[in-house]
């Protein structure tokens, strides 16, 4: 991704610009900034060295001159203005217009429109924000765009609509990031009305307006990095190689998907993040662990984290023959027995978040076991290999196999009523099979055979 770190001094004081490119060919992103400028009648008010509109025109022009010197820019600008087409009275709440659309070579056109503005109308802030949704082209030139609104106003909503709700609608749709708002000489009692619209900057004088404008544009175009710390029981960032989905915490839309990586320094690898986005996410350990909403700081290296304290579970069945299929264990959290968490094959090792789990091992007979996994250790569960049992019947019939433990009979499985030769993999132990031919119409034809199964053995059970 080509981005530029713009120093505030170079951006707004002289016309020169300091630009530093950090190229990553695998990520190309375009930042699109829509300036929504108040040109209502109140912008004729005196402020510092002129009217509010004259100050805004002068400082925005200097900012555009600086941006015009950035080589190979990966940003686009556009300008929407409200309150500049029809005087008040009467009030026209549709007095809002996209004056300059997005493109790479429109800075001169934006400056030309700025110079021509004459304040005269009302202040339809909410309607301007909502209509800004269509100002951003649906197609992004680089495949990934960061869409940002910068609202510059000296007054509050004048059309009985809700700018906060308008901003929330656009953010929840995922169309734009959280807007920036610069209040130009705004009455102190009205400032709180913009807290819910976006990130507010109070420009109480010309110098703070200049600074706010520079900070916002710098944040929008600056390189900002981050890392995701998967924290273990020793409070070390040792977790890795897990899938992670990061979302915009406002819209809840997926921002990116990654496989966590430790770099050559054995530290979480650096990723590019958006300084305007608050991120949340999910680390797909077993079970998944959340990344709580985390704000980013522009131009800095940010940290997101999740507690991923893991222990291993090793399931082994020694002596398993090549022709045999390894059994599986159904894993459930002890406090959520209704949900299957994972299905683990035998002769594998899988890491889980530490805790207590119930295993249902799908052998015949079933083996049920509760285990508690501890941090940084691997618990091994070993079971003997099953024996292969062939039940040979003279004719098809009805029946079942039971495991015998003293006087306790445990049902294992029913026989296939249509087959005369049937095969089963049974755990070592003593069994009885009960059988009656399908053609027999009396219970006295029922037969019972006893047989034993040794680990890895082959047993033939004939029932005449």
User: Residue 161 maps to which CATH number?
Assistant: 3.40.50.410
* Tokens of residue 231, six digits: 């924290």
Question: Average pLDDT of 324-331?
Answer: 90
Sheet strands side by side (includes 289-295): 254-259, 243-248, 278-283, 289-295
295 with 181, same domain?
no
**What is the pLDDT at residue 316?**
95
**What is the pLDDT at residue 26?**
41
Are 59 and 207 in contact, with CB atoms under 8 Å apart? no
List, for residues 276-315, the tens digit of each pLDDT value.
Answer: 789 999 999 999 999 999 998 877 899 999 999 999 999 9
159 with 100, same domain?
yes
Q: What is the span of the domain harbouring residue 155? A: 8-221
118 with 238, same domain?
no
For the chain, the domain total comes to 4
**What is the pLDDT at residue 143?**
76
158 with 271, same domain?
no
Residue 148 lies in a domain: yes
List, for residues 32-91, the tens digit of each pLDDT value.
Answer: 999 999 999 999 998 887 899 999 999 999 999 988 887 777 889 999 999 999 999 999
Residue 1 lies in a domain: no
**What is the pLDDT at residue 4?**
33
**What is the pLDDT at residue 28?**
57
List, for residues 211-230, the tens digit of each pLDDT value.
Answer: 889 888 877 777 788 999 99
Question: Average pLDDT of 337-358?
Answer: 96
pTM: 0.69
336 with 274, same domain?
no
Question: Average pLDDT of 410-415?
Answer: 97
44 with 182, same domain?
yes
Residue 246 lies in a domain: yes
Higher pLDDT, 301 or 178: 301
156 with 252, same domain?
no
103 with 71, same domain?
yes
Residue 127 lies in a domain: yes
Q: How confident is the model at residue 1 (pLDDT cuts 50, 70, 90)?
A: very low
Q: How confident is the model at residue 12 (pLDDT cuts 50, 70, 90)?
A: very low
CATH number of the structural domain spanning residue 293: 2.60.40.1120
Quick one: what percent of the chain has pLDDT higher than 70?
93
Could you say which of 258, 276, 307 is where a domain stops?
A: 307
Cα of first residue to Cα of last residue in the chain, in angstroms, is: 77
As beta bridge partners, residue 225 has 272, 301
List, for residues 226-258, the tens digit of each pLDDT value.
Answer: 999 999 999 999 999 999 999 999 889 898 999
Could you say which of 307, 339, 374 is where a domain stops?
A: 307
**What is the pLDDT at residue 454?**
96
Question: Average pLDDT of 323-342?
Answer: 91
- Cα 302 from Cα 307, distance rounded (Å): 17
Could you say which of 307, 334, 358 is where a domain stops?
A: 307
Question: Average pLDDT of 173-196?
Answer: 82
Residue 67 lies in a domain: yes
73 with 154, same domain?
yes
Residues 6+ apart with CB under 8 A from 258: 243, 244, 246, 271
Q: How confident is the model at residue 348 (pLDDT cuts 50, 70, 90)?
A: very high
Q: What is the mean pLDDT of the chain?
A: 88
Residue 355 lies in a domain: yes
Model confidence at 23: pLDDT above 60: no
Q: How many CB atoms lie within 10 A of CB 271?
A: 18
Model confidence at 21: pLDDT above 70: no
3-class DSSP string for the chain: CCCECCCHHHHHCCCCCCCCECCCCCCCCEEEEEEEEECEHHHHCEECCEEHHHHHHHHHHHHHHHHCCCCCCCEEEEEEEECCCCCCCCCCCCCEEEEEEEECCCHHHHHHHHHHCCCCECCCHHHHHHHHCCCCCCCCCCCCEEEEEEEEECCCCCCCCCHHHHHHHHHHCCCCCCCEEEEECCCHHHHHHHCCCCEEEEECCHHHHHHHHHHHHHHHHCCCEEEEEEECCCCCCCCCCCEEEEEECCCCCEEEEEECCECCCCCECCEECCCCCEEEEEECCCCCEEEEEEECCCCCEEEEEEECCEEEEEEECCCCCCCCCCCEEEEEECCCCCCCCEEEECCEEEEEECEEEEEEECCCCCEEEEEEECCCCEEEEECCCCEEEEEEECCCEEEEEEEEECCEEEEEEECCCCCCEEEEEECCEEEEEEEEECCCCCHHHCEEEEEEECCCCEEEEEEC
Residue 3 lies in a domain: no
Residue 447 lies in a domain: yes
Model confidence at 271: pLDDT above 80: yes
Sheet strands side by side (includes 348-353): 348-353, 310-316, 378-382
196 with 251, same domain?
no
Model confidence at 13: pLDDT above 70: no
Q: How confident is the model at residue 140 (pLDDT cuts 50, 70, 90)?
A: confident
213 with 236, same domain?
no
Q: How confident is the model at residue 191 (pLDDT cuts 50, 70, 90)?
A: confident
Question: Average pLDDT of 180-201?
Answer: 85
289 with 236, same domain?
yes
């Amino acid at each position: 991704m080509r981005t530029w770190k713009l120093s505030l001094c170079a951006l707004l004081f002289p016309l020169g610009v300091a630009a530093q490119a950090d190229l990553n060919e695998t990520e190309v992103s375009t930042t699109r900034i829509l300036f929504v400028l108040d040109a209502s009648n109140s912008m004729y008010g005196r402020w510092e060295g002129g009217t509010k509109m004259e100050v805004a025109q002068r400082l925005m022009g200097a900012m555009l001159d600086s941006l015009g010197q950035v080589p190979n820019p990966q940003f686009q600008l556009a300008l929407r203005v409200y309150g500049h087409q029809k005087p008040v009275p009467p009030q026209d709440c549709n007095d809002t217009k996209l004056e300059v659309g997005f493109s790479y070579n429109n800075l001169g056109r934006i400056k030309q429109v700025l110079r021509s503005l004459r304040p005269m109308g009302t202040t339809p802030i909410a309607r301007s924000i909502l209509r800004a949704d269509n100002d951003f082209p649906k197609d992004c030139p680089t495949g990934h765009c960061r869409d940002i609104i910068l609202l510059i106003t000296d007054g509050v909503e004048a059309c009985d609509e809700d700018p906060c709700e308008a901003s929330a609608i656009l953010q929840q749709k995922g169309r734009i990031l959280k807007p920036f708002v610069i209040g130009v000489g705004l009455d102190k009692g009205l400032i709180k009305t913009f807290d819910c619209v976006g990130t507010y900057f109070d420009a109480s004088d010309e110098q703070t307006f200049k600074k706010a404008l520079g900070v916002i544009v710098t944040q929008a175009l600056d390189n900002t990095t981050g890392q995701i710390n998967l924290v273990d029981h020793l409070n070390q960032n040792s977790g890795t190689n897990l899938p992670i989905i990061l979302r915009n915490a406002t819209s809840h839309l997926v921002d990116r998907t990654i496989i966590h990586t430790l770099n050559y320094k054995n530290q979480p690898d650096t990723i590019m993040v958006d300084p305007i986005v608050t991120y949340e996410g999910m680390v797909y350990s077993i079970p998944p662990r959340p990344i709580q909403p985390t704000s980013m700081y522009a131009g800095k290296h940010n940290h997101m984290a999740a507690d991923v304290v893991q222990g291993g579970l090793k399931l082994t069945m020694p002596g398993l023959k090549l022709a045999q299929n390894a059994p599986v264990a159904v894993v459930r959290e002890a406090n959520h027995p209704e949900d299957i968490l994972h299905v683990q094959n035998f002769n594998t090792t899988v890491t889980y978040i530490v805790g207590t789990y119930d295993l249902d091992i799908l052998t015949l007979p079933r083996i049920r076991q509760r285990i508690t996994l501890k941090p940084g250790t691997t618990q091994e569960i070993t079971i003997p290999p099953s024996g292969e049992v062939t039940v040979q019947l003279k004719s098809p019939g009805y029946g079942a196999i039971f495991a015998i433990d003293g006087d306790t009979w445990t049902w294992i499985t029913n026989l296939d009523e249509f087959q005369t030769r049937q095969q089963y993999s049974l755990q070592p132990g003593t069994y009885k099979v009960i059988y009656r031919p399908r053609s027999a119409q009396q219970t006295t034809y029922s037969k019972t055979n006893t047989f034993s199964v040794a680990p890895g053995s082959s047993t033939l059970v004939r029932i005449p």
